[in-house]
Structure 1
């Protein structure tokens, strides 16, 4: 189900004890501020929904998984407050994923950039296709992946996030991401991916929901400070996006 709505779309389908949350945007499934807010609210609701125990996070279509932040909204940021609010959108989603009482499985079917890598990292388990190469391109436009870094580093470690972020024009393969711990499983194509994902999610959803919830909490131990850390990082990013360097870089990209 495609979307041409400029703020994107968000749909949730419940299948037994599994909630499938699908986001979409015509610009390679990038995120507007409104879509980030809606996803945060949806994850917070699902966290309290006692009829489900697993969440699958996926995006529309068969191409890009997520192109990160909305380019048009990035260009439109004109003051510090707007910048902080915009980048807090990703901070809020990552925190909602982190505190969600349900195990979150990511379905990454294609290329993933910037904030999209952060979303994948905040999932508890990720199924990806061979086409799911990743890139942290923030430095090319004068900002840095400050908000998503804690989530990405928690999964792949400092050495790998250094390699990924300091080569911002280089795509890393899905197998690189798997080797580093970002992806749990990589499949040749989406058909095989979906078959295995469905089987895995149904099986996981049959386990004791209280045990899953208690275990998820343990997996995210020592991250309580992210509530303030990510918002603080959002403010720094908001400041960077207003710099002359970034304004020039964004205008070049726009052309």
Structure 2
């Protein structure tokens, strides 16, 4: 594969070649849903991941912030690759290549030891620091309500129920501690090498309650296999969820999933969002 076939802009290619003068493109690993281009690159004997995006891409600044402020503990334990170089003007990241294969679609996706490692890894990320923001829930409420006002395919009666529930969200109680969260923590972003788990893609990084990082796993795996849930919390150390906060979080996540997936044209993920929304509303 040649650089001219990668979809990167000229300035983005120039930055990568300046950072890695003898770099060759091995493969295009982009998911195709957003404008982020993800390339497997080799320079000499070393592998790298190059991520490039447009000026409007919201994942780029999140991932850059994560690598600059919140991945030190994971790098120290060998759980994540390091940031090699970044160009904020042209929106390019060069990252150490994490060895192994995606857990998604392999037996590792459903392996209890992998989920136990995932719990321990996530705890190391969460335990680095805490913050408090008394406006966090208000922003989350407003964001979910705004999503329902955007184009989507959620049935009108479901929209009405979701909107009523969201407007009843108590935003004046004591705030939960916010921790550094991955934001998309599940087997699509888990890399396994000889049974050893590592994590990639901090494009949805942010400071949120710890339970935010559990929503994908709960929907995709735990409701089908409680053994994976038990293994995860064995690694994490405890279950940080509280029933009331958890149901509100599941509702907000369901709305966000259904509306975002429609916006990017991912019909499978959109259908999952609709299922999440029906299940979440059952708790109200």
What is the TM-score with the length of structure 1 in the denominator?
0.29
What is the TM-score with the length of structure 2 in the denominator?
0.27
Higher relative contact order (CA 8 A, sep 6+): 1
